[in-house]
Structure 1
Amino acid sequence: MNLVFRMIQVMLTAMLGGRMDVTEEGRVRLRCWPNDLDINLHMNNGRYLTIMDLGRLDLLLRTGLWRTMRERKWYPVVAAEKIAFRRSLNAFDTFELTTQVIGWDEKWLYIEHRMERDGNVMAQAFIKGLFLGPEGKVPMADLVAAAGHEGPSPEMDPKVVESLS
């Protein structure tokens, strides 16, 4: 149930946050609730990735891609994820989830997520995904154009791309 409330929070925050370019960093402030905890009383490792989905929702809403996705029947698919846990999040800790598209090629979109607290990175993840539609894979050029972005992909770290292969 908590995820539903978080989704509503992200949707409301996105509406108030204004439009952003697909290459800008999005930020969402959240809290670690007791139902996020594992037996060690810190955030469960699987919950991190679930919460990072909310960062991608914020990105879709604030770039305008959400509306285009619905109209064209596109949907996102995660192909690979790599996460590093640096510090624990405990019950009632607040943190910021940052989400940023770090680049794309003709097929794949690459996203970085960070969970930060008091200037410290608690966890960092890299996501490789694509969008599918009625005609199959959506070309990244079509996707970024639908988000209103003009220009090439930001230059990506080849090590990040390789780690998600």
Structure 2
Amino acid sequence: MRWIRLLLALIQAKFKTKLIGTETVRKSFRVWISDIDVSVMNHAAIMTVLETGRLDLMVRSNFLKVASKNKWFFPSQAISIQFYRPLKVFQKAQIFTRISYVDAKWIYVEQKIERKGKIIAACIVKNTIKKGRETIPTSEIMKALQIENVPTFKYDLIKTYELENIHMTDKLVDNWDN
């Protein structure tokens, strides 16, 4: 079902208005029966829904077209997510997606899922753009997308996120046995 949801998101995005710069993208979705674990939407399904939000952003900003033309791919280095409330079958919610910070190497994307004004989940995704093993400078990407108002202010949330990733790597990867 994951691929069906992603394919539908790709098709729907092609018919939506193009983005200007770093606007916030809003996308509605409904919880399918296949998304349910016991009685609520499972976390893997929520991650897929968030992926459809990023796909919507990439298509509407023309990034997917530019990336294909240049043979770029865009691995996520880290995703940090918080779950706040459950979603039940057939409930409708919205995903909000935006580019929140860009430095020389990384593009940070913020996302949240809301239902009736209440936060269901929120995440930050740290991405880079590659061509083979080469990392493409974000300035080149922003220029190719004709984005001038690039968010370059590293606010507290991004700083906290980076520190948490350093600590997590230290504990889970470098010092597993300690």
TM-score, scaled relative to structure 1 = 0.90
The answer to whether residue 158 in structure 2 is matched with residue 156 in structure 1 is no
Match for 1:155: what amino acid? F
Q: Which residue of 1 aligns with 2:4?
A: 5
- Unpaired runs of 5+ residues, structure 2, are 167-178
- Superposition deviation, residue 9 in structure 1: 2.8
Cα distance in 2 for residues equivalent to 1:22 and 1:6: 26
Q: Which residue of 2 aligns with 1:33?
A: 32
- Unpaired runs of 5+ residues, structure 1, are none
Assess if the C-alpha contact under 8 Å between 2:31 and 2:87 holds in 1.
Answer: yes
Q: Which residue of 2 aligns with 1:139?
A: 137
Question: What secondary structure does 2:151 align onto?
Answer: coil
- Superposition deviation, residue 13 in structure 1: 2.7
Assess if the C-alpha contact under 8 Å between 2:84 and 2:119 holds in 1.
Answer: yes
Out of 125, 129, 146, the position equivalent to 2:127 is: 129
Structure 1 segment 98-113 matched on structure 2, within 5 A? 98-113=96-111
Match for 1:33: what amino acid? W
Cα distance in 2 for residues equivalent to 1:31 and 1:115: 12
Out of 65, 68, 81, the position equivalent to 1:67 is: 65
Cα distance in 1 for residues equivalent to 2:88 and 2:26: 20
Larger Rg: 2
Cα distance in 2 for residues equivalent to 1:117 and 1:77: 29
TM-score, scaled relative to structure 2 = 0.84
Cα distance in 2 for residues equivalent to 1:47 and 1:92: 13
Deviations 1:45-65 (A, max 9, x none): 122112211111111100011
Structure 1 segment 47-58 matched on structure 2, within 5 A? 47-58=45-56
> Which structure carries more relative contact order (alpha carbon 8 Å, separation 6+)?
1
Match for 1:104: what amino acid? V
RMSD of the TM alignment (CA)?
1.6
Cα distance in 2 for residues equivalent to 1:72 and 1:94: 37
- Superposition deviation, residue 154 in structure 1: 4.2
Match for 1:24: what amino acid? E
- Sequence identity percentage: 25
Q: Which residue of 1 aligns with 2:173?
A: none
Question: What secondary structure does 1:76 align onto?
Answer: coil
Q: How many pairs does the alignment contain?
A: 163
